[in-house]
Amino acid sequence: MSWIPFKIGQPKKQIVPKTVERDFEREYGKLQQLEDQTKKLQKDLKKSTDADLAMSKSAVKISSDLLSNPLCEQDQEFLNLVTALDTAMKRMDAFNQEKVNQIQKTVIEPLKKFGSVFPSLNMAVKRREQALQDYKRLQSKVEKYEEKEKTGPVLAKLHQVREELRPVKDDFEAKNRQLLEEMPRFYNSRLDYFQPSFESLIRAQMEMFRGQLAMELEIQEKKP
Amino acid sequence: MASYLESEPPSPGESSGDESQGVEATRICEKMKLNQRLAAKELVNTEAKYVHNLQLCASDIRSHLHELPQGDLDVIFSNIDDIIKVNSRFLKDLEKAGSEEEQISLLGNLFLEFQEEMENTYKVYCACYNQALALVETYRKVPKLQKVIHDVITALVPQACASGLSFLLVMPVQRVTRYPLLLQKILENTPPDDEAYEALQRATRAMQEVNSNINEYKRQKEIATKYNKLEHLTVRERLARINTHSISKKTLRLSQLFKQEAGIVTRTFLRIKPYECDLEMEGGAVQQYCCFTRDLHLLVFLEFKQRLERLVYHPLHHLSKALLGPQNLIKKRLDKLLDFERTEEKLAEMGSMTYEEEAIRHTYQALNSLLVSELPQFNQVAIQWLGQILNTLMALQRDLAQQVLQRAERELGQLPHSHVSDFDFRKLIEDTLDKTSAQLQSFCQNFQKVLPVPVRQPLQPAAERQVQALMSKYSPSKLYQVTSNISGSGNLALTLQKGQIVAVLQDRDIKGNTSRWLVDTGGYRGYVPAGKLEPYQVVPHDKPSMQSGSGDGFKFLPVETPRSSTHVAMPVFQVVAAYPFVARSNYEVSLQAGQSVTVLERQDKKGNPEWSLVEVNGQRGYVPSNFLVCVPSPTPWGWSLPTGDSSLSHM
C-alpha cells in the first residue's frame, strides 16, 4: 500500500484489515513466483530444444562432410564406414526432430497457455488496487468530514460522501474476495495441469533414444 | 680407394737384389705381419669387450633403472638388444677361427657377411642416438634421478661413473665407426698378394659404405625433425599428395565441428537444469522427471561429454597435429627441388659443384627419398586412425542411448502410464491437454470478468420517473446513459449532463453519420455524439440487489447492497439544504446549511424548475433548487441545468 501518498501529519489508518491484506499478498506473491518460473521454464525448454536440434544438425553436417571427402573414393572400407555413420546421423536427426516436436506439442504449448492466464490475473489485481485506492480516498474523505464540526453543509457533505463511499467499498470487497478465492484455486490447479507434460517429457526422450539404439545396433550388426 | 701401399716404405722393385734390402724387406714384411696380427687381435679383443659392455649396459643397468618410465628407457636404449645379438654372433664367428692366419681371411668375409645386418641395426641406433642423449641430459638435471643412475652405474661399471650413462650409450656409435679404421689398419699391414687381401679390401669398403649409409639415414631422420620444427608456411601451393592434404583438411574441420558441438552441448544443453526449478510440486510425474533429468545431467551427459572429449576429440586433435609435420616436409621438398634443379642446371653448364651445392643436392635427395618411402605408410596409418575414431564415435552414441534409455525406463516405470503404448499415450496426452486448456480458459475468463463494477449512481427520483416514462415508450434495450457531459452545438444537438438517461431512436443522423444518434430525453429530441452514450441497464425498483447475469457480464456484484433500494425507497426525504438561504418574501422560506428539508414540489406555480416548494421546520415556501442537495449525487444534476438551451423537462 505504498502508492498512497503519505499525508504528513495524518496517521495512516488501516482501512483494510491487516490479515486480509497479508493473505492477499501471500497468494499473489505465490502466483507471481509461479509466473516467473513458468516464463523461465519456457525459455529454458526452448533453449534446450534448440540445442538438441543444433546438435543433431551438426552431427549430420559432420557425416556429410566426411562423405564428400575424396578419401571415400579411394578407400572402400572408409567409404563403408562413413556411409554407415552418415545414415546413423541422419536417422538420429530425424528422431531428434520428432522428439522436439513432441515436446513442443505437449510441454511448450501448455506452458504458454498457462502463462497466458497471468496477464488477465495481473489486470484483475490492478483493478483491485484501483478500487482499493478509491476506497481509501473516499474513506479518508469521510473521516475528514466526520472530524469537522457537525454543521449543516458539513453534514450534507458527509452524507454525500458516505453514500459515495458505499458502492466503492463494496466493489473493492467484491474484487478482493473474488481474487482471494480464485488465486489459490489457480495455483493448485498447476499440479494436475503439468503432470502429463512432465510425463511426456520423459517419454519423448525415451522414445528417441530407443529408436536411436535400435538403429545403432542394426548398423553394428551390418558391420563385419 | 687410395692405395695403402703408399704408406709403406717405398719398395717397388725390391724383390730382387740387395741382401740388405732383401733382409730389410723381410724385416718389413715381418713387421707388417706382426702389425697385422696385432691389429686383428685388437679387433677381436675389443669386439669381445664391446659385446660384454653392451650386455652389461643393456641387461643390468637397464633393469636397475626402473625408476624411469618405460617409454624413456626405450628411447635411451633403443635397439641395443638387436645390436647385442648381431655382435655376439659376429664375435662367435670371429672366435671360431683357429689360427691367426685363418682369422684374418675370416675377418674379411665375415664383415662382408654381416654388413647388411650391421647396417640395419646400427642405423636405427644411430638415428635415435641424439634423442637418447637429449633425454639423458634432461635426467641429469633432475637430481634424484641422476643420483639413481649414478649409483647404478657405479655399482656395475665403476670406470664409467664419471661420465654417466652417455658414456655407455655412445659405445655402439663408436664401435661402428671404428670398424673401417681397424680394417684399414689390418689392410695396411697386409701385402697385396695375400689371399685375404681381396676380402679385406672389400670388407673395408663395405664397412665404409655402412658408415656412410648410416650417416645418410641419420640425415634423413634429422631432416624430418629439423623441418618439423619450422612453423612458417610458404605461399606456394602444394602440388601432389592430395591424400594427406585432404585427410588433414577434413580432420581439422571435423575437430572444429566437434569442438563446436561439444561447446554447444556443454554451453546450453547442460546449463539448463530444470530439476533445479522449485515449482513446489510434490508428487506425481514431476518427481520422476526431476530424478531423471538430474541423473541425466550429472551423470550420463557428463560422462558422454568426457568420453567424447577423450576418445574422439583428443585423438582427432592429435591426428591433425600429426599431419602438420608431413605437410611442412612436403612444402620443404618443393623448395629444395627448386634448389636442386638450379644446381642441376649449373652442373650441366659447368660440370662441377661447390660443396654447398653438393649439400643442397643431398638434402633434396634425402628429403625426397624419405617422403617417397614413408608417406604411403603414414597415410595408411592415418586413415586407420580416422576410421577408428569414427567407430568410437558411433559406439559412444550407442552407449549414451543405452544409458538414457535405461534410466528413462526406470523412471517411467514408476509412472501410471508406463504400460501404455506410445501411440495411445500420445492420444491420451492430447485429450488431457485439451481438457486442461479448457480449464485454463475458464480461469482466464474468471479473471477477466472482474470488470469494474460500474459505480451505479442511483437515480434521482425525477430521473427515475423519467426513465419509467421512457421505458413506457421504448423498450429497455434502447436506454442509454450519458457518460460525460455533452454540450450540444448546431442543429438539434442536445446538451446533456453526465448520468442522464435517454432513449435512442436512431443510431445515425440524417446524413447517415453513425457517430451521432438521435435520442429522446423524454421530452426533447436531438442529436448527441454516440461515443458518450453507454447502454443503460434498467434496474428494477423492487429488487434489492442488482444481480443481472446477462449482458454486461459482471459476475460478482455485491450481494447485499441495498443501496439502490434504500435510495429508491427514500427518494424525497433525503434532501438537504447545502447553503443558507434567506427568504425575501413570504413565498420563500429560509434555509440553513445542512438542514434537512422535505421537498413537496420541484417547480413553482409557473412551472419554473428553479424554485422548489419545500417544507422546513414546519414552514413551507419556495427555495432555489440549487440550494438543495440530494445525496449521493455529487452534482445536483437532476435538478437544474446550467445552460440555457438544455431541454430536460420534468414531468
Residue B539 DSSP symbol = P
Q: What is the DSSP letter of B83?
A: H
Task: Note whether A85 contacts B561, CB cutoff 8 Å.
Answer: no
What is the pLDDT at residue A206?
76
Task: Return the beta strands (E) in B209-281 as ranges.
Answer: none
Q: Higher-confidence residue: B281 or B538?
A: B538
Instruction: Using alpha carbons, select from A115, A196, A38, A119 the residue that is nearest to residue B280.
Output: A38
Q: What is the C-alpha to C-alpha distance for residues B286 and B272, in angstroms, rounded to an integer?
A: 16
Residues of B in contact with A65 (CB under 8 A): 250, 253-254, 257
Beta-ladder partners of B612: B623
Cβ-Cβ contacts under 8 Å, A34 against chain B: 279
Enumerate the β-bridge partners of residue B525. Answer: B520
C-alpha cell at A146: 466526520
Looking at the predicted structure, is the pLDDT value of residue B407 above 80? no
> From edge to edge, which strands make up the β-sheet containing B628-630?
B619-624, B611-616, B596-601, B575-577, B628-630
B287 falls in which pLDDT band (50, 70, 90)? low
- Shortest alpha-carbon distance between residue B315 and chain A (Å): 16
Amino acid at residue number B230: L
As to burial, measured by CB atoms within 10 angstroms (0-12 exposed, 13-18 middle, 19+ buried), residue A170 is buried
Is B304 within 8 Å of B400 (Cβ atoms)?
yes
> Could A203 and B422 be called an inter-chain contact, meaning their C-beta atoms sit closer than 8 Å?
yes
Average pLDDT, chain B: 70
**Chain segment B425-440, per-residue pLDDT in tens:** 777 777 777 777 787 7
Which B-chain residues 234-263 have CB contacts (< 8 A) with chain A?
A: 242-243, 246-247, 250, 253-254, 257-258, 260-261
pLDDT the model gives residue B20: 65
Residue range B190-212, pLDDT digits in tens: 777 777 778 888 888 888 888 88
A80 with B394: CB under 8 angstroms?
Answer: no
Q: Determine the residue type at B9.
A: P
Question: Residue A207: enclosing H or E segment and its boundaries?
Answer: helix A152-222
Query: Quick check: A195 pLDDT over 80?
Result: no
pLDDT at B142 over 50: yes
**Number of neighbours of residue B489 by Cβ within 10 angstroms:** 7
Residue B241's pLDDT is what?
A: 37
User: Residue B497: which pLDDT band, with cuts at 50, 70 and 90?
Assistant: low
Beta-carbon contacts of B428 under 8 Å, excluding residues fewer than 6 positions away, are A196, B417, B420
Residue B5: DSSP 8-state = G
On whether the CB atoms of residues B626 and B632 are closer than 8 A, the answer is no
| CA–CA dist A145, B643 (Å, integer) | 31
- State yes or no: pLDDT of B13 exceeds 70: no
Q: In this model, does residue B564 exceed pLDDT 50?
A: no
User: Is pLDDT at B237 greater than 60 in this prediction?
Assistant: no
The predicted structure's pLDDT at residue B261: 52
**Best to test chain B binding among A61, A160, A168, A190 (most B CBs inside 10 Å):** A160
Longest dimension (CA), chain B: 196
Q: What is the predicted pLDDT for the residue at B419?
A: 60
Q: Could you tell me the strand order of the sheet in which B533-535 lies?
A: B525-529, B516-520, B501-506, B479-482, B533-535
pLDDT at res. B620: 83
Beta-strand relationship, B596-601 and B611-616? antiparallel
Contact B64, B56 (CB under 8 A): no
Name the minimum distance, in Å, from the CA of B287 to any CA of chain A.
9
Nearest to B524 by CA among B464, B469, B459, B605: B469
Q: How confident is the model at residue B259 (pLDDT cuts 50, 70, 90)?
A: low
Residues of B in contact with A173 (CB under 8 A): 558
Which of A66-75, B36-45, B155-164, B630-639 has the highest mean predicted lDDT (pLDDT)? B36-45
The interface predicted TM-score of the complex, written ipTM, equals 0.70
Round to whole Å and give the CA distance between B514 and B531: 10
Chain A residues touching residue B319 (CB < 8 angstroms): none
In percent, the amount of chain A with pLDDT more than 90 equals: 0
Q: Measuring CA to CA, how many Å separate B415 from each of A204, B229, B249, B635?
A: 14, 62, 50, 67
**Is B637 a residue whose pLDDT tops 60?**
no
| Alpha-carbon separation of residue B590 from A151, B366, B586 (angstroms) | 16, 134, 10
* pLDDT value, residue B260: 55
B104 vs B582 pLDDT, higher one: B582
pLDDT at B416: 64
Are B450 and A66 within 8 A, CB to CB? no
Cell reading at A165: 463511499
Q: Note whether A37 contacts B277, CB cutoff 8 Å.
A: yes
Chain B residues whose beta carbon lies within 8 Å of the beta carbon of residue A61? 257
Instruction: Look at residue B484 and give its three-state secondary structure.
Output: coil
pLDDT at B265 over 80: no
How many angstroms away from the CA of B408 is the closest CA of chain A? 6
All three cell numbers of B92, joined, read 662367435
- Asked if pLDDT for residue B457 goes beyond 60, the answer is no
Distance CA B382, CA A156 (A): 103
More confident residue, B225 or B541: B225
Answer yes or no: do B246 and A69 touch at CB < 8 A.
Answer: yes
Lowest mean pLDDT among B30-34, B240-244, B443-447: B240-244
Contact status, residue B435 vs residue A195, Cβ threshold 8 Å: no
Domains of chain B: 22-229 (1.20.900.10), 274-413 (no CATH), 461-535 (2.30.30.40), 573-632 (2.30.30.40)
Put simply, the chain B residues between 425 and 454 with a CB less than 8 A from any chain A CB are 425-426, 428-430, 432-433, 436-437, 439-440, 443-444, 446-448, 450, 452-453
Calpha distance B287→B295 (Å, rounded)? 12
Residue A41 has its nearest CB partner, among B274, B282, B561, at B274
For A31-69, how does the pLDDT look when each residue is reduced to its tens digit (9 = 90+)? 888 888 888 888 888 888 888 888 888 888 888 888 887
